[in-house]
């Protein structure tokens, strides 16, 4: 019934410095991806503990993590099972290029401006900085399959990206931030509202003045520091957001 624990490849390295439960989590993740189908049962916690020579509590910690990621689910009295992978259209902290590629469209961008400015009172408040702090402003028209999709404006504290303005404007902003500056966005907040296209935005997006747009303001953080504030206007006829919901106070529910 449950796959034999012996079938799982890999071993724990107690000298690596990586927590044992993290190692086991990755071993299990690989096993799940490579050898399991949705609904497959994992070996029992006790079997895993014996197979890897660990205490059951340690095994549980690894499994807890995967349950928290909704990769697997527990059923009391039955076992632990691989879940159907979740729909992947969720609002996430991805870059525009990643996002469009996931949607099967060809992303492109036209740079409208790429310069250093001083933080206005508004920007200073949004970025939690002092007024006048040097910022890199990067404004683009983003295209999908050759058609305008959105107008996008990013503001990044200049001291986080020294030398960025010396080169060409990046093709994928988040890629450059992570690869050249080690700034991997970890979490963020989106503020979503509907708005009407202003004349200038309308011309850029090739829509009527007053056409509905989705305005998304994003604050993106690395650790505790805000690294990117952006405002985007998406054409409502080309872009929808999908947001998963949870009952407030609902902890990781087993069902669903």
Partner DNA sequence: TTTTAGGGCAGGTCTAGACCACGGGGGGCC
Partner DNA sequence: GGCCCCCCGTGGTCTAGACCTGCCCTAAAA
DSSP 33-56: HHH--TTPBPPPHHHHHHHHT--H
Please pick, from the candidates 4, 11, 30, 69, the single residue that binds its own copies as defined by CB under 8 A: 69
- Identify whether the C-beta of residue 221 lies closer than 8 Å to the C-beta of residue 188: yes
Of the candidate residues 189, 200, 203, 206, the single one contacting its own copies (CB under 8 A): 189
Residue 250 binding partner per list DNA, its own copies, none, with a CB distance cut-off of 5 to 8 Å that depends on partner kind = its own copies
Question: Judged by CB, which is closer to its own copies: 119, or 232?
Answer: 232
Residue closer to its own copies by CB (options 106, 196) is: 196
CB of 151 to its own copies, least distance (A): 14
With CB under 5 to 8 Å by kind, the binding choice for 245 among DNA, its own copies, none is its own copies
For residue 76, state whether it binds its own copies (rule: CB under 8 A).
Answer: no
Stretch that binds its own copies, among 2-10, 118-126, 159-167, 213-221 (CB under 8 A): 213-221
Residue 125: left (phi > 0), alpha (psi -120 to 50), or beta?
A: alpha
Tokens read off for 124: 């200073």
Distance between CA atoms of residues 16 and 110, nearest Å: 46
Counting every residue, how long is the chain? 256
What tokens were used for 129? 């900085």
Per CB under 8 A, 252 contacts its own copies:
yes
Q: How far apart are CA 51 and CA 31, in angstroms?
A: 14
If the CB atoms of residues 79 and 212 are measured against DNA, the closer one turns out to be: 79
How many CA atoms within 13 Å lie on the side-chain side of 126?
Answer: 23
Q: Does 105 bind its own copies (CB under 8 A)?
A: no
Q: Which is nearer to DNA, 66 or 173 (CB)?
A: 66
Task: Look at residue 58 and give its three-state secondary structure.
Answer: helix
Q: Measured from the CB of residue 196, what is the shortest distance to DNA in angstroms?
A: 47
Cα atoms in the 13 Å half-sphere on the side-chain side of 93:
18
Binding site for its own copies (CB under 8 A): 57, 65, 68-69, 87, 91-94, 184-196, 210-215, 218, 220-221, 223-224, 234, 236, 239-248, 250-253, 255-256
């Amino acid at each position: 019934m449950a796959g034999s624990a012996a079938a799982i490849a890999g071993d724990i390295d107690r000298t690596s410095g990586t927590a044992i439960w993290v190692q086991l989590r990755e071993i299990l993740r690989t096993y799940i991806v490579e050898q399991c189908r949705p609904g497959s049962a994992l070996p029992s916690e006790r079997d895993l503990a014996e197979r890897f020579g660990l205490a059951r509590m340690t095994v549980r910690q690894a499994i807890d993590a995967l349950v928290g990621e909704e990769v697997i689910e527990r059923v009391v009295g039955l076992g632990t099972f691989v879940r159907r992978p979740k729909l992947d259209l969720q609002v996430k902290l991805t870059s525009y290029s990643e996002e469009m590629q996931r949607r099967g469209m060809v992303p492109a961008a036209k740079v409208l401006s790429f310069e250093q400015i001083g933080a206005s009172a508004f920007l200073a408040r949004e970025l939690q900085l002092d007024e006048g702090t040097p910022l890199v402003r990067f404004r683009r028209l983003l295209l999908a399959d050759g058609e305008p999709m959105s107008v996008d404006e990013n503001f990044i504290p200049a001291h986080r990206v020294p030398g960025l303005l010396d080169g060409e404007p990046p093709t994928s902003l988040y890629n450059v931030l992570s690869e050249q500056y080690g700034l991997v966005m970890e979490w963020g907040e989106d503020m979503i509202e509907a708005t009407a296209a202003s004349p200038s935005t309308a011309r850029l997006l090739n829509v009527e003045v007053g056409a509905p747009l989705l305005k998304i303001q994003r604050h993106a953080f690395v650790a505790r520091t805000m690294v990117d504030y952006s405002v985007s206007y998406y054409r409502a006829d080309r872009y929808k957001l999908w947001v998963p919901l949870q009952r407030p106070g609902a902890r990781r529910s087993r069902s669903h």
